[in-house]
Amino acid sequence: MIEPFRKSTGEVLQTIQGELSPYVGSLMARTAAAAHCRDLGFYDSVLDHQQIAALLQKIRLGLVIFLGKEKTEEVIDDMQRAISRLGETH
């Protein structure tokens, strides 16, 4: 049976911050990730696959203004890979 894709919200946000901060600084990385999560109404301690995809899409739309489409895709790919390496939360 395939395990459901569920990751700790805190760990996901921390991973996103880690990937974003070289570009937008640690303060903006932290506040942007948390603000996007809040805007999407994700308050639970775990995020599923769809929620993570929605969160990354929101970050992608903002980041493209600063980095352009190509570089943004590269950064988002790195984020996705880093998130998928996180352990599952049940």
> Among residues 8, 40, 54, 62, which is the contact residue for other proteins, using CB under 8 A?
62
Instruction: Identify the residue whose tokens are 């998130």.
Output: 83
Enumerate the H helices of 40-90 as residue ranges. Answer: 49-84
- 32 lies in the site for other proteins, by CB under 8 A: yes
- 29 lies in the site for other proteins, by CB under 8 A: yes
What count of other Cβ atoms lies within 10 Å of the Cβ of residue 21? 15
> Among residues 44, 49, 53, 74, which is the contact residue for other proteins, using CB under 8 A?
74
Extract the tokens encoding 3. Answer: 């395990």
Q: Which residues bind other proteins (CB under 8 A)?
A: 21-29, 31-32, 35-36, 58, 61-71, 74
